[in-house]
Amino acid sequence: MKREKLSDLFGRLREKRPLVHHITNYVTANDCANITIAAGAAPVMADAPEEVCEMVTFAGSLVLNIGTLNQGQIESMILAGGVANDRGIPVILDPVGAGATRFRTASAQRLLDELQITILKGNAGEVGILAGAEAKVLGVDSLGVTGDAVKIARDFAKETGITVVVSGIVDIVTDGRRVLLIDNGHPMMGSISGTGCMAASVTGAFAAVSDDPVIASAAALASFGIAGERAASGAKAPYSFKVALFDELSTLRPADLASGAKIRVQ
């Protein structure tokens, strides 16, 4: 892929500073808000059913995260997602812990059934469960998927019309036709909670200024991964790494993304 596309998209994000509406979990809400700002967008964390339909009309994208799930939250997601669909606002779903309990799996499936999801971003276990593959999830962590994760993601994307993102050592992005593999990142990103949630927020920021969810997802994961690489170079331990992660993404330039992105076309 042309690296100019990455720098142009990142530059557009920083210039437009779109609003990213989150209906998300309370464990990582503050981290997601701050990483959205670091990426160049503006976050809002609003989940009350009385206001979600109005709030999403101002947004460039909607990020749904089921990390701390309850029935009322799902209803708010359905309400906001419906308005987003009507207005052509991209919807990013992070099905945190799908496969861990029946409630989580059923809730994620309901969102997929009732809304037009633009981007589904999860780990291999979560995506595998929703795709009908043999996979295991413990809490919110993936214990792996049986079979070829690229093929599972590609087939699921082709079947649903959704851009599927599988996070891992190598991130996978596919719309069923194109497959991009992103090699950016660092093992320390797994040493703190919330990096998966934050990746969804960064994806929402890029998706808000792009009409191509595949390129938006790849650019988001590459930029977040580059920030992780840079943060790890001077971090002493997980918490100093976390602080540096925000700093590195906030100071990342469009040219840095273009030169540092490790994106392979499969």
Among positive and negative, which fits the CA dihedral 229, 184, 160, 59? positive
Per-residue confidence (pLDDT) for residue 214, from 0 to 100: 98
Per-residue pLDDT of the chain (266 residues; tens, 9 = 90+): 677 889 999 999 999 999 999 999 999 999 999 999 999 999 999 999 999 999 999 999 999 999 999 999 999 999 999 999 999 999 999 999 898 899 999 999 999 999 999 999 999 889 998 998 766 555 444 446 666 889 999 999 999 999 999 999 999 999 999 999 999 999 999 999 999 999 999 999 999 999 999 999 999 999 999 999 999 998 989 999 999 999 999 999 999 999 999 999 98
Distance CA 192, CA 135 (A): 23
Per-residue confidence (pLDDT) for residue 63, from 0 to 100: 98
The token pair that represents 58 in the structure block: 């101002």
Distance CA 123, CA 44 (A): 24
* DSSP for 76-110, written as a single string: HHHHHHHHHHHHT--EEEE-TTBTTBHHHHHHHHH
CB 82 within 8 A of CB 91: no
Per-residue confidence (pLDDT) for residue 1, from 0 to 100: 67
Read off the pTM: 0.94
Per-residue confidence (pLDDT) for residue 64, from 0 to 100: 98
Residue 49's SS3 state is coil
**Helix extents (H) in 132-193:** 149-160
Show Cβ contacts of residue 243 under 8 Å, excluding neighbours closer than 6 positions: none
- For the beta carbon of residue 132, count every other beta carbon within 10 angstroms: 11
Domains located in the chain, CATH noted: 3-265 (3.40.1190.20)
CB 67 within 8 A of CB 95: no
The whole-angstrom distance between residue 198's C-alpha and the CA centroid of its chain comes to 7
Distance CA 91, CA 118 (A): 5
